[in-house]
Amino acid sequence: MTGAAGTLVGRRRARIAWTGPAGESSGIFTRYPFLIVVLLLSAFPVYWTFTIASQTNEAIGQTPPPFLPGGNFLANARRVFDTVEFAKALLHSFVVAGAITTSTLLFCSMAGFAFAKLRFRGRNALVLIVLVTMMWPVQLGVIPLYIEMQALGWAQHLVAVIAPTAVTGFGVILMRQYTIQAVPDELLEAARMDGCTSFGLYWHVVVPALRPAMAVLGLLTFMQAWNDFMWPLIVLSPQNPTVQVALSTLAAGHYMDYTLVLAGTAMATLPVLIVFAVFGRRIIGGIMEGAVKG
């Protein structure tokens, strides 16, 4: 009986190891093809952008259009730099996106730590105000914000794009919620007993614990700042553009030169792809760590 029972137990363990705790072996054969299809559908627009950017206007007018990259990408890229001040636009976008990302990570993590772990009068009311700012449509604040930039003398300068988004309500709430679950009160009390100040707690205890969430917030902020179009179009001049404003200038003519526009779009997409390729593993690790802790 013992041998038979052992055999049954061994077979059951092998079946669990194959099917998973919920018998999901059949789902493997449907899940991965579905994920592959989603991946292909998501990557096709990027591939098509680089494909058209490497062709000529005569080639894309053919029926059917070419589905393989051509050899004219460098020539189209040179035309982009000759048509608009694309180098200046790329530099401005790097400055704006980098400054906004750095300030957002700094101020949002500090505010999140204060709202999560420090006790002061009016804390809950301030958190409520931050939540209300997330419900306020951005378009409603464009006119008063532009008037404010004019009064400060910042209009037509990059600081007018950086300052309004130097800190965001979403970032503050994200850092607050992550600090609550990632930083134990006992750890802060032990550091205080060792003579650590509030800023010391933030820098030496909170920041290392917030690195996964800060990686996620940093990528989201960089992408949003890099792709922002409406506010830079309003507050900056055509001679002082960001990359999205420069792309709109390429597409503003009576005749749409698709190879020119998509060549500029491809070059504007490359920095975002590089950032995700370099920091993607850390960002995905931060998301998974947050999911496990949650």
Is 60 within a domain? no
Q: How far is residue 251 CA from its own chain's centroid?
A: 25
Residues 6+ away with beta carbon under 8 Å from 262: 49, 52, 53
* 137 and 33 co-located in one domain: no
* 28 and 86 co-located in one domain: no
Count the Cβ atoms, other than its own, within 10 Å of residue 153: 10
The pLDDT, as a whole number, for residue 146 is 94
Confidence band, pLDDT 50/70/90 cuts, at residue 174: very high
The pLDDT, as a whole number, for residue 292 is 47
* 155 and 260 co-located in one domain: yes
Structure-token match 């048509």, residue found: 83
Residues 6+ away with beta carbon under 8 Å from 206: 109, 113, 117, 179, 183
d(CA 111, CA 95): 24
> Which tens digits make up the pLDDT trace of 64-83?
878 888 888 999 999 999 99
> Which tens digits make up the pLDDT trace of 99-114?
999 999 999 999 999 9
Is 63 within a domain? no
Mean pLDDT within 114-139: 91
The pLDDT, as a whole number, for residue 26 is 55
Is 55 within a domain? no
- pLDDT exceeds 90 at position 116: yes
What are the Cα distances from residue 58, in Å, to 55, 167, 247? 8, 47, 22
* 32 and 90 co-located in one domain: no
- pLDDT exceeds 60 at position 227: yes
The CATH number linked to 99 is 1.10.3720.10
* 120 and 194 co-located in one domain: yes
* 7 and 120 co-located in one domain: no
The pLDDT, as a whole number, for residue 258 is 86
* 144 and 243 co-located in one domain: yes
Of 289, 288, 175, 159, which Cα lies nearest the Cα of 221? 175
- Which 3 state secondary structure label does DSSP give 179? helix
Decide which of 70 and 1 is more confident: 70
Q: How many domains is the chain partitioned into structurally?
A: 2
Is 146 within a domain? yes
For the ranges 61-70, 181-190, 206-215, 285-294, the lowest mean pLDDT is seen at 285-294
Is 64 within a domain? no
Contact between 185 and 116 under an 8 Å Cβ cutoff? The reply is no
Mean pLDDT within 264-268: 92
Mean pLDDT within 164-172: 94
Decide which of 58 and 163 is more confident: 163
Residue 228 domain boundaries: 82-293
Kindly state the percentage of the chain with pLDDT values over 70. Answer: 85
Is 65 within a domain? no
* 262 and 175 co-located in one domain: yes
* 107 and 206 co-located in one domain: yes
Confidence band, pLDDT 50/70/90 cuts, at residue 24: low
Decide which of 21 and 37 is more confident: 37
d(CA 137, CA 119): 31
Confidence band, pLDDT 50/70/90 cuts, at residue 282: low
Is 51 within a domain? no
Is 259 within a domain? yes
Residues 6+ away with beta carbon under 8 Å from 131: 169, 173
* 224 and 176 co-located in one domain: yes
* 38 and 117 co-located in one domain: no
Mean pLDDT within 9-28: 50
* 135 and 273 co-located in one domain: yes
Mean pLDDT of the chain: 85
